[in-house]
Amino acid sequence: MTQNKTFEDLHLITPILQALKHQGYTVPTPIQEQAIPVLLDKKDIIGCAQTGTGKTAAFAIPILQLLSTGHQRDPHRKKIRALILTPTRELAIQIGESFHDYGRHLGLTHTVIFGGVNQNRQTLALRKGVDILIATPGRLLDLMGQRFVHLEEVEIFTLDEADRMLDMGFIRDVKKIIAQLPTHRQTLFFSATMPPAIVELSKNILRNPVRIEVTPPASTAETVIQHLYYVDRDNKKDLLLHVLEKHNIPSALVFARTKYGADKVARFLCQSGVPAEAIHGNKSQNARQKALQNFKEKRVRVLVATDIAARGIDIDELSHVINFEIPNEPETYVHRIGRTGRAGASGTALSFCDAQEYEFLKDIHRLIPKQIPVENNHPHPMQGIPRSMTQFGRRGGGGRSRYSSRRRGGRR
């Protein structure tokens, strides 16, 4: 499909075009160009897309148009007409912001509900009535049980980040919620990956869906320069401090595999004079949101995150991602480095690999598929590096992947 269309070519109504212009968006991303016409035609969709491809706008824009031009069943008593189910508070908030931005001229109402905070403000909004509800599964089920939420009038249901719902153990809750939806509805299903359990779920809830896949699962952004450092595990923290200072990195998202590891790295950086905070599942929702806000506003230089906590985080102009620990799932590497190099901007991904992580690295090389160039010029080289670990790539320098993910328009 050609990628030279504008939003005006997608038959969007004037209020939405005005809102997009206000946001500075004129050219849709590939998933927006493909999904919006299908959804305006009221068809079900299964979208294989990662965060950063413009996925949220791809469903928010047509939902807004369909609701604003459709028939309100009971204009005197507003009921929920669209439900967006998403795994994390951070992602729910960002989706809510998108509905606000794109629907600013439409008069439709929306609210966001999630756990970890007092429910009073959320229930007050629900009592007033909303057209669009964005929710995380646990809090939604809780408020359904208290009869604050009724889903019998839902016309459009969106399940976002389905694979992450599975990872976080929410699939049973998702199925309970779906059981309360009307059988006759339009369903939008999005997932970055399609493990068997997610394939089965999609078959059960979609009707003749149109499949849209905008990025091969193994692709990495062509604008991301990648470097690989071989280092002994005990020297990783010192190497992190070295690269932050040597390359004068203004801000970096650092990935650790565990919550304990994320806390340990953040604590070391703070003790070394580098403002840092950790974000993971054991932190309260308020603490996670505050840490993210501090990072976005440059009060914190380094945000150390686990993969689940970082899912759905959208950070503009992030220059560096650092894999303090190599992920044990190669697809996770792709997701991590895709946080930088967005919207055509350049970005750098640095990965620290110790001897125990070498098998994970081999899986990544097979998936991408490219050899990540090895950086040898650093003060903490691995001692007695096995010869098999030096066969990949040429030492020194950075590399760009041949596989591109073109991103334009809104990135949420």
Could you read off the pLDDT of 176-235 as tens digits, one per residue? 999 999 999 999 999 888 888 899 999 999 999 999 987 654 556 567 899 999 999 999
Say whether pLDDT at 245 is over 50.
Answer: yes
Residue type, 375: E
Q: How does pLDDT run across 363-407, given as a tens digit for each residue?
A: 888 888 788 999 988 999 998 766 555 554 433 333 333 223 322
The predicted pLDDT at position 402 comes to 28
User: For 165, phi and psi rounded to 5 degrees?
Assistant: -60, -45
For residue 344, name the pLDDT band (cuts at 50, 70, 90): low
For residue 25, name the pLDDT band (cuts at 50, 70, 90): confident
Conformational region of residue 208, where left means phi above 0, alpha means psi within -120 to 50, and beta covers everything else: left
Average pLDDT over residues 256-275: 94
Q: What SS3 string covers 361-395?
A: HHHHHHHCCCCCCECCCCCCCCCCCCHHHHCCCCE
Q: Per the structure block, which two tokens stand in for 260?
A: 């304990």
CA 1 to chain centre: 25
For residue 157, name the pLDDT band (cuts at 50, 70, 90): very high
For residue 2, name the pLDDT band (cuts at 50, 70, 90): very low
CB-based contacts of 62, cutoff 8 Å, min separation 6: 35, 36, 39, 40
The predicted pLDDT at position 223 comes to 72
Higher confidence at residue 217 or residue 68? 68
Say whether pLDDT at 53 is over 60.
Answer: yes
Say whether pLDDT at 74 is over 70.
Answer: no
Instruction: Round to whole Å and give the CA distance between 369 and 219.
Output: 8
Residue type, 270: C
Q: Per the structure block, which two tokens stand in for 33?
A: 């160009």
Contact (Cβ atoms closer than 8 angstroms) between residue 405 and residue 338? yes
Place of tokens 């403002």: 275
User: For 84, phi and psi rounded to 5 degrees?
Assistant: -115, 120
The predicted pLDDT at position 214 comes to 78
The predicted pLDDT at position 282 comes to 77
Q: Per the structure block, which two tokens stand in for 76?
A: 């005197």
Say whether pLDDT at 347 is over 90.
Answer: no
Higher confidence at residue 337 or residue 402? 337
CB-based contacts of 74, cutoff 8 Å, min separation 6: 153
For residue 52, name the pLDDT band (cuts at 50, 70, 90): low
Query: Which of 69, 2, 59, 68 is closest to 32 using CA atoms?
Result: 59
The predicted pLDDT at position 351 comes to 97
Say whether pLDDT at 125 is over 80.
Answer: yes
Average pLDDT over residues 47-63: 85
Q: How does pLDDT run across 78-94, given as a tens digit for each residue?
A: 799 999 999 888 788 88
The predicted pLDDT at position 396 comes to 39
Q: Which domains does the chain have, with CATH numbers?
A: 7-213 (3.40.50.300), 224-400 (3.40.50.300)
Place of tokens 């320098």: 397
The predicted pLDDT at position 333 comes to 87
**Mean of the per-residue pLDDT values of the chain:** 84
Using alpha carbons, list the distances in angstroms from residue 41 to 11, 50, 186, 336: 11, 23, 10, 34
For residue 409, name the pLDDT band (cuts at 50, 70, 90): very low
